[in-house]
């Protein structure tokens, strides 16, 4: 929950851990020394000044004593950043990324990973409690905290002096910073960052590149998004793809074209998914939605299968089904699956994936702002976007099946929908924090609701 615009974190010094920097003369006001009471839901430290006014502090951890500088004052609260750490938390660690001071992506790298997950469990619990939902203690579905991200979008900008800037956006800014590494990217993608920067500097018209996308599954694909096509640079990109042994897709606003260093890039990409005894290859196009963390996605799918295998259900309705991330493993485990997705393209992709795996799945496109029928259904699996599934939850509360497995990427809308289901006679019996994005305040979850 963002309570105000943040600015990039500043370098903080720790007494007794490293030599303190001299504080600027204007930072010595007595109320600049504060004790952090807790973390807000977006991962900032929360403190109060001598007058009792709330201060949100970038880069601070619970129970730390820090010297701060305020960079934004509002009516009900101020925003600040750490200048010096007087007393550090036991959970403070040194971030692995050299860009932590400017990048807005991984705002919790200074918090130990176990403490990050405990914090997210607490946030999830607080959201549910606020809605009056009776929830069990959550367990954790997680994997490696670094090298997990299999897709990235990086901006390209040429400054007034002709220098190419290539990287992510600065925190709460449209400005780019030059990136040389990103330890949360899968190693194959991280290794491409410096070669990509050199490639951009060698183009005849780098100003025509809007951004690039990297995506890794069984192979690596580079998507170059041009503001306007440029034939000579198109050939340069082709040679780059051949040298790096990656697939290439090239698009421009005035039409589009696909280049490839081999025939494989003209086909779907695939990511592997283990479904019990069967290994599935889930086909997708680079523009399709897939979970960015492959390891955690596998663990999440396995947990959903385990939950439903423990029930006596056979007929499952998969809502917001996408390319078949849950539908295909469910069908491979012997469930009768009916899948619904809002996009005709995704429905066709799901059916093609089912056919390629020899699986029988019924799939159709429907507007899921209106609840589908659940007649002759034993269980529902739903994985909605951040807005949640209020219409679906309201319909299920009236006449839903016994089991509902709800995968959420937003604890606020999950809690709202959970309250609706609870009022309709469901009980939240199992809850898991899904740490899909380590080092960020973003959290996902898996909830099992049972009607009694």
* Cα–Cα distance, 157 to 160 (Å, whole number): 10
CATH of domain 151-261: 2.40.50.1070
Answer for the pair 219, 246: CB distance below 8 angstroms, yes or no: yes
Window from 168-182, 213-227, 388-402 with minimum mean pLDDT: 168-182
Contacts of 148 (CB under 8 A, 6+ apart): 184, 186, 292, 293, 294, 295, 296, 438
Locate 354 and state its tokens. 């089912």
Residue 36 clears pLDDT 80, i.e. is over it:
yes
In terms of Cα–Cα distance, which of 325, 303, 335, 332 is closest to 401?
335
The pLDDT assigned to 30 comes to: 42
CA distance 147 to 170: 21
Rg of the chain, C-alpha, whole Å: 24
Mark residue 205 as left, alpha or beta (left: phi above 0; alpha: psi -120 to 50; beta: remaining).
beta
The model's confidence at residue 253, banded by pLDDT at 50, 70 and 90, is low
pLDDT of 272: 94
Q: Among 16-20, 55-59, 283-287, 432-436, which is the least confidently predicted range?
A: 16-20
220 has pLDDT over 60: yes
pLDDT at position 173? 79
For residue range 240-252, list pLDDT tens digits in order: 999 999 999 988 7
- Domain ranges in the chain with CATH number 2.40.50.140: 13-92
Please state the rounded mean pLDDT for residues 208-227: 93
Pairing assessment for the beta strands 278-284 and 269-275 based on DSSP bridges: antiparallel
Distance CA(27)–CA(211), nearest Å, equals 39
Q: Is 97 a catalytic residue?
A: no
Kindly tell me if the per-residue pLDDT of 13 is higher than 60. Answer: no
Residue 304 has which token pair? Answer: 């959903």
Residue 50 pLDDT class (50, 70, 90 cuts):
confident
Q: How far apart are CA 153 and CA 123, in angstroms?
A: 28
Ranges of CATH 2.40.50.1070 domains, the chain: 151-261
* Per-residue CA distances from 225 to 158, 174, 288, 393 (Å): 15, 18, 16, 39
CB pairs under 8 A, 24+ apart, for 180-184? 180/98, 180/99, 181/97, 181/98, 181/99, 182/97, 182/99, 182/149, 182/152, 183/96, 183/97, 183/146, 183/147, 184/97, 184/105, 184/106, 184/146, 184/147, 184/148, 184/149, 184/438, 184/439
370's CB contacts (< 8 A; 6+ apart) are 391
Over residues 301-319, the mean pLDDT reads 96
CA distances to 135, 260, 317, 407, 422 from 427, rounded to whole Å, are 8, 52, 19, 16, 6
Q: Is pLDDT of 8 > 70?
A: no
Poorest-pLDDT segment among 159-173, 186-200, 377-391: 159-173
Largest pairwise CA distance in the chain: 72
Sorting pLDDT into bands at 50, 70 and 90, what band is 20?
very low
pLDDT at 393: 97
115-144+291-451 topology per CATH: Rossmann fold (3.40.50)
pTM over 0.85: yes
- Superfamily of structural domain 13-92: Nucleic acid-binding proteins (2.40.50.140)
pLDDT digits (tens, 9 = 90+) for 384-410: 999 999 999 999 999 999 999 999 999
8 Å CB contact between 95 and 440? no
């Amino acid at each position: 929950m963002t309570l105000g615009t943040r600015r990039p974190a500043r370098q903080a010094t720790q007494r007794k851990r490293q030599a303190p920097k001299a504080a600027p003369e204007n930072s010595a006001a007595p109320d600049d020394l504060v004790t952090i009471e807790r973390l807000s839901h977006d991962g900032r430290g929360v403190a109060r000044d001598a007058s009792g006014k709330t201060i949100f502090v970038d880069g601070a951890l619970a129970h730390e004593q820090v010297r701060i500088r305020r960079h934004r004052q509002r009516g009900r609260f101020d925003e600040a950043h750490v200048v010096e750490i007087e007393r550090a938390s036991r959970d403070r660690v040194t971030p692995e990324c050299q860009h932590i001071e400017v990048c807005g992506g991984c705002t919790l790298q200074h918090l130990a990973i176990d403490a990050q997950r405990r914090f997210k469990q607490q946030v999830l619990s607080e959201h549910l409690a606020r809605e009056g939902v009776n929830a069990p203690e959550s367990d954790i579905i997680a994997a490696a905290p670094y090298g997990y991200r299999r897709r990235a979008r990086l901006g390209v900008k040429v400054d007034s002096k002709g220098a190419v800037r290539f990287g992510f956006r600065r925190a709460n800014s449209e400005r780019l910073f030059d990136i040389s590494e990103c330890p949360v990217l899968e190693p194959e993608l991280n290794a491409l960052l410096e070669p990509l920067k050199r490639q951009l500097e060698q183009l005849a018209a780098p100003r025509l590149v809007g951004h690039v996308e990297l995506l890794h599954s069984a192979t690596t694909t580079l998507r170059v998004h041009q503001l306007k096509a440029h034939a000579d640079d198109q050939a340069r990109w082709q040679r780059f793809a051949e040298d790096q042994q990656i697939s290439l897709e090239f698009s421009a606003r005035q039409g589009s074209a696909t280049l490839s260093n081999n025939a494989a890039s003209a086909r779907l990409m695939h990511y592997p998914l283990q479904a019990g005894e069967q290994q599935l290859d889930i086909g997708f196009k680079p523009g399709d939605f897939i979970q960015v963390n492959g390891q955690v996605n596998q663990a999440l799918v396995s947990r959903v299968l385990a939950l439903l295998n423990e029930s006596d259900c056979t007929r499952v309705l998969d809502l917001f089904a996408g390319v078949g991330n849950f539908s295909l493993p469910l069908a491979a485990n012997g469930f009768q699956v009916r899948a619904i997705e809002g996009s005709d393209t995704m429905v066709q992709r799901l059916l093609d994936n089912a056919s390629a795996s020899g699986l029988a799945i019924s799939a159709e496109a429907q507007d899921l702002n209106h609840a589908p029928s659940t007649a002759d259904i034993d269980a529902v699996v739903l994985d909605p976007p951040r807005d949640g599934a209020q219409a679906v939850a309201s319909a299920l509360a009236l006449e839903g099946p016994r089991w509902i497995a709800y995968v959420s990427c937003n604890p606020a809308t999950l809690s709202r929908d959970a309250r609706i289901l609870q009022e309709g006679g469901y009980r939240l019996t199992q809850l898991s924090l899904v740490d899909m994005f380590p080092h960020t305040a973003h959290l996902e979850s898996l909830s099992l609701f049972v009607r009694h």
